[in-house]
Amino acid sequence: MKITSIQARAIDCGFQTQKLQTSRVASPMSRWPQFGENRSSWMWPSKKVFVRIESDDGLVGWSSTNGGEVVAMIIEAHLSRLIAGTTVTDIADVWDQMFNSLLPNDRSGFSMMAVGGVDIALWDLQTKTKGVSLVTALGGGAADLPVYCTTTQPGAHHNSDWWGLKAAMPYGPDAGHHGFQGNVDCMGAFRDAAGSGGRIMLDSFMSWDADYTLRFAIAAAQHDLYWNEDPLPPYDKDGLRRLKADLGGSTRLALGNFSFTRWDCAELIREGLVDILQPDVAWAGGITECLRILDMAKAADVPVILHNTCEQPWALALAAAKQTDPVVEFVDRGEGSPLYGLMGAAPVFKKGRVMVSTDISGNHPPATIAHQVADHSSAKLLKEV
């Protein structure tokens, strides 16, 4: 397939108005009072980035990723000139070209979101060229998958069929004893909602330290926590080593939301720091890189649960086609959230499971978004600047 056009546009889809953004959730920024009450007060560029790639036969591949104007600029000002006008026969080779072109100056999450956005759109274009669904292109897989739910409202999911319930923790160490007890009470509410035999997990969003995490594990031990997700900043490897040694396996560590390449994931696996690996497909370089990550984790016998799976049809396809006994994540953003259906029909849930689409039409954003992106060519962008 010969690429004739690559476009990217950052569009506000209401992310900052979602429940998780407007609730009190612990974060690396919550130590400062002006940023502690809600994540929307400080969150990185939060517009969704829609990527549109057109081939010379008139077919269009779509994807969406995060990172707002920063990621859109990387795609339009840099990555597009590497690919536009070329004939793509090997998407993995294109991935390597994009990644290596960014090495001299950027290996951040923003750059990998940009690479991931282009990669997913290329896969979508390829499946449309072949007239098959992504699940079929990846080898075929399950028709539905078990789901765990991330929510700030455990009472709304009392005795539900979800595989498990995950809490976004409200407080960090700077909230003192009141915050600490609030976190313990939060897990008590989740235990009540899940029942005595249900799985409950927590996401500390890089806001805790090793001492706090260990104290919390003791204080909340009666609630039987299945995992603690990203309790420490990714750079605190010494802290993670201490947690692995001192927790003694009583609580699993779920890491990898902020691992943006296979090399980030390999370090966690190699050092034995991760019990459940959780990369995000749109953040960690797209489908091509996540296939590599899945292969690596399988070889090391480390389970993978792809981050925020149910908002990403390509992540559901990967889980269905490439994982044994997969579990996926649904983020409860409240009823009617536009984020559920940005790349096609909203996911369908039944008895704690999600249906996996085999739609051969692939990714297709709402018409209003498609029009905005198609009307936003690189030439027009440069002219406006």
- What is d(CA 370, CA 363) in angstroms, rounded to the nearest whole number? 11
Q: Which helix (H) or strand (E) holds 9?
A: strand 3-11
User: Mapping DSSP to helix (H, G, I), strand (E, B) and coil, where does residue 213 land?
Assistant: helix
Q: Which of 307, 364, 371, 376 is catalytic?
A: 307
Phi then psi dihedrals of residue 151, to 5 deg: -150, 160
Of 259, 255, 253, whose CA–CA distance to 228 is shortest?
A: 253
- What is d(CA 261, CA 175) in angstroms, rounded to the nearest whole number? 33
DSSP symbol at 10: E
DSSP symbol at 338: G
Report how far Cα 120 is from the mean position of its chain's Cα atoms.
14
Cβ(136)–Cβ(171) below 8 Å: no
What are the residues facing 349 on neighbouring strands? 354
- What is d(CA 158, CA 254) in angstroms, rounded to the nearest whole number? 24
177 is catalytic: no
- What is d(CA 326, CA 330) in angstroms, rounded to the nearest whole number? 13
Reading phi first (left if > 0) and then psi (alpha if -120 to 50, else beta), residue 139 is in left
Annotated active-site positions, please? 307
